[in-house]
Amino acid sequence: MKRFLSGIQATGDLHIGNYLGAIKPCVELQGEGESIYFVPNLHSLNTRPDPAKLRKETLSNIAWFMAAGIDPNKSILYVQSGVSANAELCWILNNFVTMGELSRQTQYKDKSSKKGVEGQLVGLFAYPVLMAADILLYSATHVPVGEDQAQHVELARDIAERFNNIYGDTFVVPEAVVRKVGARVMNLQNPDKKMSKSDEGQSGNILLLDNKESIQNKIKRAVTDSEGLVEFSDTKPAIANLLQIYSGVTGDGIETITAKYAGKGYGELKTDLANVVVDSIVELQTKYHELLKNEDYLLEIVKEGNRKANEIASAKLLEVKVKLGLL
């Protein structure tokens, strides 16, 4: 039986990269096996968030999951801090990973290169270990993520194999599910850089909360090139990015889209792209706002999700503790 698991951090407003790279695949995989989706709010602590903002963004991500189609009757939908076993397994797994491995994680390297290593929080450095615990504790077979998280899933695999080799079969070795299209949506103003929550407010991100005009303006102003040819190619990253967003949103293949715009300019592609993005995001937003109106209902969903997640997690944690001789 396949078990899908993924998480979306409560740190800043979600963008269309989060949707196409992770949320949409999570929804599509629901029903092909068991699924567990969650908000990793302990991960967010490395940005020292304002408590009220963290609480709000945690519930907001639960609402986005549900607005996109995650059904709490079909999937477990929970919040990381509601299951203590995640943090406890993280501590155990810290002893199965080296400083060298963590120093080589691209995301950590990117973040520490801006500020220098000395002042980095241990919580940021060790963040992939908590992510490994999130995955291994629930025996996930498949982890749908965007490309930037694939290296962390790879590390979770290494940790699982290392543990299993010493203590016998304990953890399922998980596989990252990274879509060909939509797994690395780039910034509309700088197509060499991925769209990122930490670039909030910039015109290069399409936020899930953007209104129609804002989406249209951002797409209209997206950088292109001077060739005017709608082609999918590594040498044309700006156009390739617009095409992958188009394909991710509509489900049409890249070839179908390039054929449709052959001989036409970028203007037409951009107008149509804005329309399809607006249609899909507006539909999501309507459901999202509806869900947020009833906070008690969302809290009930989380409580029930936490309960189910705790059952799975505590059984696995006990197995690990017995193997390690922890009384």
What's the chain's Rg over C-alpha atoms?
20
CA dist 30 and 278 (Å) reads 24
Q: Does 40 bind ligand TYM (CB under 6 A)?
A: yes
Contact pick of 3, 24, 157, 194 for ligand TYM (by CB under 6 A): 194
Q: Is 9 in the site for ligand TYM (CB under 6 A)?
A: yes
Region from 13-21, 111-119, 213-221, 252-260 binding ligand TYM, contact rule CB under 6 A: 13-21
CB of 94 or CB of 260, closer to ligand TYM: 94
Contact string (CB under 6 A) for ligand TYM, positions 97-136, x = contact: ----------------------------------x--xx-
Among residues 62, 93, 159, 195, which is the contact residue for ligand TYM, using CB under 6 A?
195
Closest-CA residue to 131 (of 109, 102, 110, 103): 102
Position among 58, 81, 105, 149 found at the interface with ligand TYM (CB under 6 A): 149
* Structural tokens at position 311: 């059952």
**Catalytic residue status for 218:** no
12 in contact with ligand TYM (CB under 6 A): no
Q: Residue with CB nearest ligand TYM?
A: 21
Q: Is 194 a catalytic residue?
A: yes
- Does 303 participate in catalysis according to the annotation? no
CB of 68 to ligand TYM, least distance (A): 12
Considering the complex, state which of residue 72 and residue 128 has its C-beta at the smaller distance from ligand TYM: 128
Which of 3, 4, 21, 90 lies at the binding interface for ligand TYM (CB under 6 A)? Answer: 21
- 55 or 264: whose CB is closer to ligand TYM? 55
6 binds ligand TYM (CB under 6 A): yes
The alpha carbon torsion through 11, 22, 282, 225 (nearest 10 deg) reads 90
Euclidean distance between CA atoms 67 and 287, whole angstroms: 5
Closest among 2, 241, 305, 309 to 141, alpha carbons compared = 2
Region of 97 on the Ramachandran plot (φ > 0 left; ψ -120 to 50 alpha; else beta)? beta
For ligand TYM, the closer of residues 9 and 58 by Cβ is: 9
CA dist., res. 272 & res. 262, Å (int): 14
Residue tagged active-site, from 53, 111, 287, 321: 111
Calculate ∠ Cα 327-129-93, nearest 5°.
Answer: 25
Of 17, 191, 204, 305, the one binding ligand TYM (CB under 6 A) is: 17
Q: Which residue out of 53, 56, 197, 212 is catalytically annotated?
A: 197
Q: How far apart are CA 70 and CA 65, in angstroms?
A: 5
- Identify the CA nearest to 191 among candidates 154, 227, 157, 225: 225
Q: How far is CA 221 from CA 204, 206, 218, 274, 284, in A?
A: 9, 12, 5, 11, 24
**How many residues make contact with ligand TYM (CB under 6 A)?**
25
The reply to whether 179 sits near ligand TYM by the rule CB under 6 A is no
Other CB atoms within 10 Å distance of the CB of residue 181 = 19
Cα–Cα distance list, 268 to 123, 219, 250, 273, 275 (Å): 46, 11, 16, 8, 11
Residue 296 Cβ vs ligand TYM, minimum distance, rounded to whole Å? 26
Residue ranges in contact with ligand TYM by CB under 6 A: 5-9, 17-18, 20-22, 40, 43, 131, 134-135, 143, 145-146, 148-149, 183-185, 194-195
- Residues with active-site annotation: 111, 194, 197
